Amino acid sequence: MGQIAFNATTRDMAEAFSASDAAWLSICNAPLGTWLMPRTAWPAVPKTSMRGLRFFAHAPGFTGQLPGPESYAHTRLKIDVVKAARAMGFRAELEAWGTDGAGADWIADVLVFLADGSRVAFEVQLSSQHLNDFRSRTQRYVRSGVRCCWIMSEKPVAWRLTKALIYENIPYYRENGEFLSDCEEIVPFAIELAGKDTYPDVLPPIRFGRGRHIKRMALKEAIAGMLHGYPRWQLPDWLWNAPRVSGD
pLDDT tens profile 41-55: 999 999 999 999 999
> Is residue 153 scored above 70 in pLDDT?
yes
68 pLDDT higher than 90: no
Looking at residue 247, its pLDDT comes to: 52
pLDDT over 70, % of the chain: 97
- 154 in the same domain as 44: no
User: Residue 204 above 90 pLDDT?
Assistant: yes
Spatial neighbors of 126 by CB under 8 A, at least 6 apart, are 71, 73, 74, 77, 152, 153, 157, 193, 196
Cβ atoms of residues 246 and 220 within 8 Å: no
Asked whether residue 196 is assigned to any structural domain, the reply reads yes
Mean pLDDT of all residues belonging to the chain: 94
Tell me, yes or no, whether 35 and 108 share the same domain: no
Same domain, 38 and 93: no
The residue-averaged pLDDT of 59-72 equals 86
Range of the domain at 9: 4-58
Note whether 102 and 176 are same-domain residues: yes
pTM assigned to the model: 0.93
246 is a domain residue: no
**Same structural domain for residues 94 and 21?**
no
* Burial of 82 from C-beta contacts in 10 A (0-12 / 13-18 / 19+): buried
Q: What is the pLDDT of residue 243?
A: 53
Domain co-membership, 24 together with 141: no
248 inside domain: no
Does 200 lie in the same domain as 162? Answer: yes
